[in-house]
Amino acid sequence: MNLILTESRKLRFFTFTMLYLAQGFPFGLVNTALPAYLAERGESAAAIASFIAIANLPWSFKLLAGPFMDRWTFLAMGRRRPWVIFAQSCMVLTGLCFAFFPDGLESIAILSALCFSLNVFGASQDVAVDGMAIDVLPVEEHGRANAFMAFGQVAGISISTAVSAVVVINFGMPGIAALLCVAFGLILSVAVIVRERPGEKIMPWTSGTASQRSIDMKPESWKIIGVDLARVVFLPASLFIFGAAFIFRFAYGVWISLVPIVVVQDLGFESTQYSTFISGIGFLAAMAGLALGLMIDSKGIRFFYALVLGLYGLLCIFIGLTESFWVSPTFLICIGIVQAFIYQGGFISFIASCMKLCWQKVSATQFAIYMAGANIGLSMGAGAYAAVQDMLSANQVFLVLGLVFFIGALMAWLTDFEGHYDKVSMLDKPGRVGDFAPHG
């Protein structure tokens, strides 16, 4: 079967969409369906926020996987694809583990441990997929590819949120296990049948050899990885984007901890109603997001990223100033729709900006550092809400979030992508394999 990522744009978009869909499945279960279920069961805000923080913690340590993927792989199957297959296989096995704890829904400790384990391999898969995307995507496809990737993740979140909300209530832990195994298994088959470059092996026992480019790009020591990483990560644009990514996900961590409490516990909506609405509007936002890739490529990532973070800030301040309208279902629906579309624009911009700054020589580790910073922000945001929820009212939290988003917007606007590109281009001799330059 001749399915080569470097030779087909359509195959690249389809493959990365599917692999990002796999990453969305844990988020829908962990960040929406289960918190809504726990809120409906009467768990405290602190307990729910702590569950979210613990379950998402592996995404904060993605940078630990990056150096291993840059240093070691089975090059005959590609630079990143062996790690994608390994991590995706472990996601299937971890999903199966849910079936061995039929009473797990009654224990936040068990749920936290299982969801933590699931996200360990989800985060590892994410590092491998992002590294593979940076390796095989031409620069001119970054905006559109990230729109498809973001669509895949949100589609996974939406499907998982809607289905798992019903499965949790009606089928319990065995139902969750079946859902995760089927979903992850189907997506694993996609990773198995595609190859990065011509001539590579499909599986270890099939014929094929490593491409010369993969051999040339392989670092020979940990020292080389560390030196190259330090040369690029501490450039000004890299630090600004790291800060913006941290702030964006910190605020979102507060959001996903606060909103289920307000909607389900304070306003009395059912958890299935909340989860179904979130999944439906998230999917529509993801569909609309496919058009954002072209807009990013034409308007520029700095403008677009700063714009969506600024809009997020305005939305939070508006919510904080209109507490008396929260009892209106129409008001909540409108807020949910606006938030979903703004978040989708922010997520696409976030991924595209980090990818744009990556140097192929250490792309897995560098991208993992950006993602780790962002996801440390998410866990810290959830933890921060657990710490302050007794001291600040819900509307005050929204007002503070608005200010936080404005800081993120400023950092995004101050990022000089062209200057970064010029600096990294000077780190190696022009034309040498691994230079920070357009690739395909």
Q: Is 11 exposed, middle or buried (0-12, 13-18, 19+ CB in 10 A)?
A: middle
Nearest to 360 by CA among 137, 150, 205: 137
Q: Which fold has domain 9-204+219-425?
A: Growth Hormone; Chain: A; (1.20.1250)
pLDDT per residue as tens digits for the range 128-172: 888 888 888 887 777 678 788 878 887 888 788 878 888 888 888
DSSP 426: T
Q: Please give the pLDDT value at position 25.
A: 85
Q: Please give the pLDDT value at position 96.
A: 93
In sequence order, the 6+-apart residues with CB closer than 8 A to the CB of 124 are 62, 65, 83, 86, 87, 90
195 forms bridges with which residues in the sheet? 4
For tokens 């995507």, name the residue: 137
pLDDT beyond 80 at 235: yes
4 forms bridges with which residues in the sheet? 195
User: Alpha-carbon distance 19 to 172, whole Å?
Assistant: 26
**E strand or H helix at 110, and its extent?**
helix 108-136
Q: Please give the pLDDT value at position 440.
A: 32
Q: Please give the pLDDT value at position 295.
A: 66
Output the six-digit token pair for 4.
Answer: 């080569």
Output the six-digit token pair for 20.
Answer: 């990002």
pLDDT beyond 50 at 294: yes
Q: Please give the pLDDT value at position 406.
A: 93
pLDDT beyond 70 at 299: no
DSSP 235: S
pLDDT beyond 60 at 429: no
Q: Please, which pLDDT band fits residue 210 given cuts at 50, 70 and 90?
A: confident
User: Alpha-carbon distance 152 to 342, whole Å?
Assistant: 17
Per-residue pLDDT, averaged over 307-333, amounts to 87
Rg, C-alpha atoms of the chain: 21
pLDDT beyond 50 at 433: no
CA angle 289, 293, 295 (to 5 degrees): 100
**Alpha-helical regions (H) of 357-391:** 363-388
In sequence order, the 6+-apart residues with CB closer than 8 A to the CB of 206 are none
Three-class DSSP labels, 170-233: HHHHHHHHHHHHHHHHHHHHHHHHCECCCCCCCCCCCCCCCCHHHHHHCCCCHHHHHHHHHHHH
Q: Please give the pLDDT value at position 83.
A: 92
Q: Please, which pLDDT band fits residue 436 given cuts at 50, 70 and 90?
A: very low
Higher per-residue pLDDT: 173 or 64: 173
Q: Where are the domains of the chain?
A: 9-204+219-425
Q: Please give the pLDDT value at position 437.
A: 37
Name the average pLDDT for the chain. 82
In sequence order, the 6+-apart residues with CB closer than 8 A to the CB of 393 are none
Backbone dihedral angles phi then psi of residue 4, each to the nearest 5 degrees: -115, 125
User: Alpha-carbon distance 27 to 286, whole Å?
Assistant: 15
Q: What's at 336, amino acid-wise?
A: G
CA 124 remoteness from chain centre: 11
Q: Please give the pLDDT value at position 90.
A: 94
pTM for this entry? 0.71
CA atoms within a 13 Å half-sphere pointing along the CA-CB vector of 430? 2
User: Alpha-carbon distance 30 to 411, whole Å?
Assistant: 30
Per-residue pLDDT, averaged over 82-108, amounts to 89
